[in-house]
Structure 1
Amino acid sequence: MYQPLECFSKNWIFKRNDPKVEPEDLQEIRLLSEQRAAQIWHDYISDDQIHPDHVTDKNWLKKNTTQVPSGKLQWEKTWDSEQTSLPDDLLVHFSAWGDDTTVFFCCHNELVFEVKWGVFKRTWKAFLFLDNGPILVGKKKKQAAQFHSNGWVNLLMRES
């Protein structure tokens, strides 16, 4: 179900001093096995595409009905700043999530991280070194977000 974080070729993102990921948080960041990642990707993201770059209008990510009105936000300015917390509008979007909510940071069908929402909120700057379209979803939650390398994030509501 999980594999050691050291198996991830870019595990350095979690071991930098800036942004600092505390050892107790690092232990809570779980890299899913490729098989488990593929299942989460299939269940939460797409059953026919393997990477965010390939999703089409048939996938929920691109449908107009899943886009939150005025739900395109700038994340990179906060990421570049001294502020450690997520941008306020992101926190509002995910306000229904408790700190113990299991979330999946989905980079592609073979690269998915599992972490608790409270840990993600503290370590989000490290995760966003992987900014080429990853999707953040919560287990059994409708709220989602897709981060883009241009510094923007789309706030989304998953379909049932």
Structure 2
Amino acid sequence: MYQPLECFSKNWIFKRNDPKVEPEDLQEIRLLSEQRAAQIWRDYISDEQVHPDHFTDKDWLKKTTDKAPITKLQWEKSWDSDQASLPDGFLAHFDAWGDDTTVFFCCHNELIFELKWGIFKRTWKTFLFLDNGPVLVGKKKKQAAQFHSNGWVNLLFRET
């Protein structure tokens, strides 16, 4: 179900001093096995596409919704700043999530991290070294987000 973080080719992102991931948080960041990642990807992201670059207008991530008052916001300014927390608008989108909510940070169908929402909120800057379209979803939750390398994040609602 899991594999060691050392198996991740860019595991250096978790070893940096800036942003620093505390050892107790690092222990709770799990890299899914490729088989488990593929299952989560199919269940939560797409059963047709294997990478964010391949999403089409048929995929739920590309569909617009009127459920979110703000559908897009800038994450890069907060990332570049000394501010430790995620942008307020981002946090507001996920305000129904408790810190113990299981979340999946989905880079592609074979690369997914599992951790708790509280840990993601503390370590988000580390994860955004992987900003080429990853999708954040919560287990059994409708709210989602897709990060883009242009510094923007789409706030989404997952179809269930």
Mapping 1:1-160, distance limit 5 Å: 1-65=1-65, 68-160=68-160
The alpha carbon displacement at 1:64 in A equals 1.8
The alpha carbon displacement at 1:28 in A equals 0.4
- RMSD value over aligned CA atoms? 1.0
Aligned length, in residue pairs: 160
The answer as to whether partners of 2:68 and 2:93 remain within 8 angstroms in 1 is: no
Question: Which consecutive unaligned segments of at least 5 residues does structure 1 have?
Answer: none
Q: Percent identity?
A: 84
Please give the alpha-carbon distance, in whole angstroms, between the structure 2 residues aligned to 1:69 and 1:148.
20
Question: Which consecutive unaligned segments of at least 5 residues does structure 2 have?
Answer: none
Deviating above 2 A after TM superposition, structure 1's stretches of 4 or more consecutive aligned residues are 65-70
- Which is further off, 1-10 or 66-75? 66-75
The answer as to whether partners of 1:60 and 1:66 remain within 8 angstroms in 2 is: no
The answer as to whether partners of 1:67 and 1:154 remain within 8 angstroms in 2 is: no
Q: How does the TM-score come out when normalised to structure 2?
A: 0.98
Residues 1:128 and 1:67: Cα distance change in structure 2 (over 3 Å): farther
The answer as to whether partners of 1:66 and 1:157 remain within 8 angstroms in 2 is: no
Please give the alpha-carbon distance, in whole angstroms, between the structure 2 residues aligned to 1:66 and 1:127.
28
